Structure 1
Amino acid sequence: MNTLTNSLDTLTSRFSDPQQLVPELGDVSTALFKITGNGAVPRSTVTLVHLRAGQLVENTYLTVMHTANARRAGVPEEKIAAVASWKDAPYFTPAERAALELVEAVLTPGGHGERVPNGLYARVAEHYDDRALATLAMAIGQVNFFIPLALIGKPLPGVSMAEQWRTATTD
């Protein structure tokens, strides 16, 4: 066993599986996945938005999970690797750039003024119709819904879903 595996084997989350603790979470989670999977926004774009959100809140669990989700959605490796530096990366479509700019505006505290000014909204609206805009807003909301669980509960990154909520008292 290498050092990384040993280190992951001894890590624990702060609390056990929140869906076991609060079963209603399953219904909310299912509804959010249904909304973001409605086809109005490409799955690959949703995963890029989620990945960027994980990076913005500096959470390894979310970043690792959404990197894997992007791979499953068929996002090319160079695009995944460049999400953090998307502004000067040549890999993104104008629609993806608009979505990434939007998630950054929503999640990054700004100085003075609106986080999502009219100019940004207009740029995003050039690429997404009303249904897609609402879906994109919900995709940002979806990841925002889970950010507190990731930051407070500290699920384990890079392990199976069954192991990510492993507490010190777990058998």
Structure 2
Amino acid sequence: MMELRMNHRNVAPEFYQAMASMDQVSGRTLGTVLKELIKIRVSQINGCAFCIDMHAKDLLKQGNQENRLLLLSVWHDAPCFTAEERAALQLTEHLAQITNQGVPQHIYDHARMYFEEKQILDIILVVNMISGWNRISIGTGMYPGCFD
């Protein structure tokens, strides 16, 4: 049986509120679908079941996203992603696994073909925020449905 280690919302409500506020302002230039794809992909990489569950449900609310959700972990080989989404996901994966090889210049340049600087920064901020949430979730033992 899974057990929540602590409820971070109750232990440090001011911290939770600050994270939630930062999360709300990140990714505004990206559109809801792309922002959710980024959050899910980073959560897949980090192994965060709580965040995958939450953001998969949020993505499905956008309508007609089932196929893309099912194929997100193998987006490289799935034709349902646009060139723009592919560039964002490629950058996302490098940011999420930054200790492996950083963000090579050609990855950044490829993303710049599709995104303005503010959008690139928003991708970076969304990856940063969801990575933080993943660590809070995993570290405190959160799991899908733990707050129901």
Q: Same fold (TM over 0.5)?
A: yes
Name the CA distance, whole Å, in 1 between partners of 2:11 and 2:64: 34
Query: Which aligned pairs between 1:14-29 and structure 2 lie closer than 5 A?
Result: 14-16=5-7, 18-24=8-14, 25-29=16-20
Q: Distance in 2 between matches of 1:94 and 1:52?
A: 16
**CA-based RMSD:** 1.6
List gaps (5 residues or longer) in structure 2: none
Task: Kindly indicate whether residue 143 of structure 2 is the aligned counterpart of residue 156 of structure 1.
Answer: yes
Report the AA paired with residue 128 of structure 2.
G
Which residue matches 2:122? 135
> Which structure is larger by alpha-carbon Rg, 1 or 2?
1
Partner deviation per Cα, 1:21-76 (whole Å, 9 max, x = no partner): 1122212312321232x2x1111001001111111112221211121111123351
Q: Greater helix percent: which structure?
A: 2
Give percent identity, aligned residues only. 18
Superposed, 1:5-20 pairs within 5 Å as 11-16=2-7, 18-20=8-10
Contact 1:35 1:135 in 2 (8 A): yes
Distance 1:121 1:54 in 2: 21
Q: Does 1:126 align with 2:148?
A: no
Q: How many residue pairs align between the two structures?
A: 146
Structure 1 residues 64, 93: closer, same or farther in 2, change over 3 A? same
Supply the AA of the counterpart residue of 2:59: A
Q: TM-score by structure 1 length?
A: 0.79
